[in-house]
Amino acid sequence: MDMIIAQNRFGLGANGLGPAAETDPKKWLSHQFEAYQSRPPSNFAIGNSADIAQRLEARQKAKAQEKKQADPSPRLQNYDDLREIYFDNVNARADFAIKSPTPFMERLVHFWANHFAISVDKIQVRALAGTYEFEAITIFWANSATY
Question: What is the residue extent of each domain of the chain?
Answer: 3-142
- pLDDT at residue 18, as a whole number: 59
Cα end-to-end span (Å), the chain? 22
- Residues of the chain whose pLDDT is less than 50? 43, 146-147
- pLDDT at residue 45, as a whole number: 59
Quick one: which of 132, 136, 141 has its CA closest to 89? Answer: 132
- pLDDT at residue 147, as a whole number: 44
- pLDDT at residue 49, as a whole number: 80
- pLDDT at residue 110, as a whole number: 86
Burial class (CB in 10 A: 0-12, 13-18, 19+), 85: buried
Q: How far apart are CA 63 and CA 43, in angstroms?
A: 32
Q: To which H or E segment does residue 108 belong?
A: helix 103-115
What's the pLDDT tens digit per position in 66-76? 777 766 566 55
- pLDDT at residue 134, as a whole number: 75
